[in-house]
Amino acid sequence: MAELPNPQENLSLDTFLRGLWTENPVFAMLLGMCPVLAVTNSTMNAIAMGLATTFVLVCSSLLISLLRNWIPKQVRIASYIIIIATFVTIVDYGIQAISLELYAALGAFIQLIVVNCVILGRAEAYASKQRLHTTLVNSLGMGAGFTIALLALGTVREILGSGSILGVALFGEGFQPWVVMILPPGGFFVLGAWLLLFNWLRLRKERKVMEQSGVAANAG
């Protein structure tokens, strides 16, 4: 995050979109990998985890942005952690109230949102310096980016590993599910494959740019 916008950024479309692509917390910055790998064995879990993380991210960023002038520098990390832990506890009880089955499926990973580096990273790098409305938009973007990444893994793993999507079977009786994909190794493989795809796209783009500039140089 070298190009950190500081001092205060003006609200633009980019404030939101950055979280989706160029600074996508999972695919571009490789943050918060634990829940990404652990709970993405079905689409439903991925959606629930994404929404829970987004909620914590947005709420804690807002509160931190609101309090940014009152929190002394020396105790800021401690304050951030307490604020984040508060919202995680709230989400924890909220999910238990909504559905205990979902709660059982996500297990300890809801409480582990506390140590998700995306949230602390955002608090430190963005919310503690920016105004309320830009923080809101930016954290929504980051949350959406995180959710999309979870979905990208969750759907692929559910389709390959159980032959279904959101519990609805996609293939006929003859489909033999690729069980390893919903087991732990599958998480590593699918995330690795996504990164390979993104690397390939990036390299191809770079090569195109190089070729074009080469052509331009020759012509000149």
Residue among 143 and 186 whose Cβ is closer to another protein: 186
| 164 binding another protein? (CB under 8 A) | no
| 185 binding another protein? (CB under 8 A) | yes
Asked if residues 100 and 19 have their Cβ atoms less than 8 Å apart, the reply is no
Nearest approach in angstroms of CB 16 to another protein is 25
Q: Which of 45, 35, 28, 26 is nearest to 161 (CA)?
A: 45
Residue among 16 and 27 whose Cβ is closer to another protein: 27
Residues 6+ apart with CB under 8 A from 83: 60, 63, 64, 123
**Site for another protein, residues 97 to 116, rule: CB under 8 A:** 97, 99-101, 104, 108, 111-112, 114-116
Q: 31: which strand partners?
A: none
Residue among 133 and 207 whose Cβ is closer to another protein: 207
Q: How many positions of this chain bind another protein (CB under 8 A)?
A: 63
- Take residue 7 and report the two structure tokens written for it: 């001092």
Concatenated DSSP letters of 40-92: TTSHHHHHHHHHHHHHHHHHHHHHHHHHTTTS-GGGHHHHHHHHHHHHHHHHH
End-to-end CA gap in the chain: 36
**Site for another protein, residues 27 to 66, rule: CB under 8 A:** 30-31, 33-35, 37-38
Asked if residues 126 and 114 have their Cβ atoms less than 8 Å apart, the reply is no
Q: Contacting another protein (CB under 8 A), which of 120, 136, 137, 148?
A: 120
Residue among 12 and 99 whose Cβ is closer to another protein: 99
Concatenated DSSP letters of 147-171: HHHHHHHHHHHHHHHHSEETTEE-S
Residue among 193 and 209 whose Cβ is closer to another protein: 193
Nearest approach in angstroms of CB 112 to another protein is 5
CA dist 25 and 5 (Å) reads 17
Residues that bind another protein (CB under 8 A): 30-31, 33-35, 37-38, 67, 70-75, 77-79, 81-83, 85-86, 88-90, 92-94, 96-97, 99-101, 104, 108, 111-112, 114-117, 120, 161-162, 177, 179-180, 182-189, 191-193, 195-196, 199-200, 203
